[in-house]
Structure 1
Amino acid sequence: MVNSKLSPTVVPVANHSPSADGDALRDAMKGFGTNEEVIIEILTARSNAQRQDIIQYFLSEFGRDLIQDLKSELGGKFEDLIVALMFPNVSYLCKELKRAMNGIGTKESVLIEILCSKTNDEIKEIVTTYEDMYERPLVEHVCSETSGHFGRLLTLILIGARDESGNVDSALAKEQAAKLYEAGESKLGTDEDVFNRILAHASFEQLRLVFDEYKQLSGNTIEQAIKHELSGELAEAMQAIVECIQSPVEYFATRLYGAMKGMGTDDSTLIRIIVSRSEIDLNDIKVEFERKYNRTLLSAIRSETSGDYKKALCALIGDV
């Protein structure tokens, strides 16, 4: 949401030569065997725009689709990570949204992570790109895969209902806090529509005031109220909105920790966050991860991954 300190781990390389990179990648994949080290060295150290230039050079010079070549030469989670790097960020997130809704069941946590952490402008770009890619409106697809108050919340987000004027109104914040209190803690049952309306419409700046007023009125934080009054995907989505408004880097650090906690690793979440945040604020997420969990993100990834997949992830987050 609002982040005054944007500190990426991947930045454009100076004096970039798409031809030199393209030639090196072609050599790394020609003949018998593949030089994975070259692939990692080049693709994790270029910005997404520079990777797009390499793709164009590869096509014009060799008549080959670089992404298809990478898919044919690589495998497993290493392939998933490298291929994810090759799509423009918004296209990659659209692919992740589509994958979350494909087949039996819907991965609601993926919808929440992507949609509840974005501004109106970012949502608008995702909506436009999704329809261009899949010839289906994203809001229609999401509506078909979700229901109830949770579905309505995502719909409000997708239609860009949030006020992003930057204006704040202290008197209105008191009124909104009172409405949230009356819709939840002060009554039996919960009026979810009130929570949806305020958290999906008010600006981030306004909601910070609302949350402060709520604590003054109730004695509980808005997070505590959501935990007590809501449940399931709606509660998870509301918590994501609150966390992203207060600290996006903490939200993503928590998501990364959750992806590596317990038995097995949620590699798709690990890849998605590291790839999509690498040119935004991944360095800040690293710092927050260490502050919150008393271990570095690098050490966590090294213990949970292996091989070229681990090398590429570590290169993206800054293996220093």
Structure 2
Amino acid sequence: MNETSTFRDTQHANIPSGHAMPAPDQASILLAEALKPGAASSRTALAADALLALTQKGLEGDAAAYAQYQSILLDLHLPGEPRTEPTRRWLASQIYQVEDRFAPALPDFRVLPVDEFRAKVDAEIASRTRVRHPMSLHLFQGAPPLRDVRLFLRHHWNRSYNFYSLLAELAFRFEAIHDASVFYRNLYGEAGAETPERAHPTLLAQLMAYFDIPLRVDFAALDPLEKAYINNRIRCVRHTDVAWGLSLVYAVESVSCVNHLRIYELLQRMGVPEGPCEFHRLHGTQDEIDTEEMWELIAKFAHDESFQRTFMQSLTRHFDINRAYFDMLWRQMQGQHIH
């Protein structure tokens, strides 16, 4: 049973949940105890209970709880002490189950033939693409100052530098090698094929160097809505139901060409040399092949009503979170002009 149909921008929300729960800092304390060497399983259980209560309160509208749970979930997602990896993954998976209960309700959902399903998916993506967002119009159709471009590119690095890891996680979810190979071929390109120095993160890093943008991401300092965006990407590809991950990656890949082409054209107008632009020039031409291969895989599962519903729930949640995240970046960008 879905408990809500939309993602909320909780920055100003303060909706009491009616559920007793530990104070937000107590969840962090219990988590730290659970991750200590030799911690008893009872410690992990206590931490899980606190995290699940915190997550539910956050998703019910409490802004402080929402920010705290997104911060903790991101800590669980990021690479850390190898010894704690199994525990961190398990705790994250428990949070996913709470998030599942808040999946978009889709009141008008109905199962469709596969070809009609793709038409519906592509129409949804086209209607919610961020190219019409005010920030995108400002950047790609206006004359943005350098500081706005740097802000955009800094956050672009935050969400793009490790896209290859999302593909690797999703590939792991498929038993059949023919299914997994769709992502392995994509990964081969991400890694630079036979030329490692042309690996996509390396090419993107050249653009960051040109604009003097640090490559190290201060994850703790990110806005809760940006943490939510990053967390949702990781959650979807790690979810045991592959409909979540296939929807997320298809949504990203299907708009990749147009988004990267607009960035490339912006960089060209600014006089950026071809070398630092190569990442966006490349992605402005090649991702349509990856999209078609991915749809062939999606079509193998899309006859199932449950798959279609979850796929559309994932798509809706992705765009709701994406919109709130871009709204936040636009507010930051506009704030740069207030002195």
TM > 0.5 between the two? no
The TM-score with structure 1 as length reference comes to 0.25
Question: Under a length normalisation based on structure 2, what TM-score does the superposition of the two structures give?
Answer: 0.24
Flag the structure with more relative contact order, 1 or 2, with Cα contacts below 8 A and sequence separation at least 6. Answer: 1
From the CA coordinates, give the structure whose radius of gyration is larger: 1
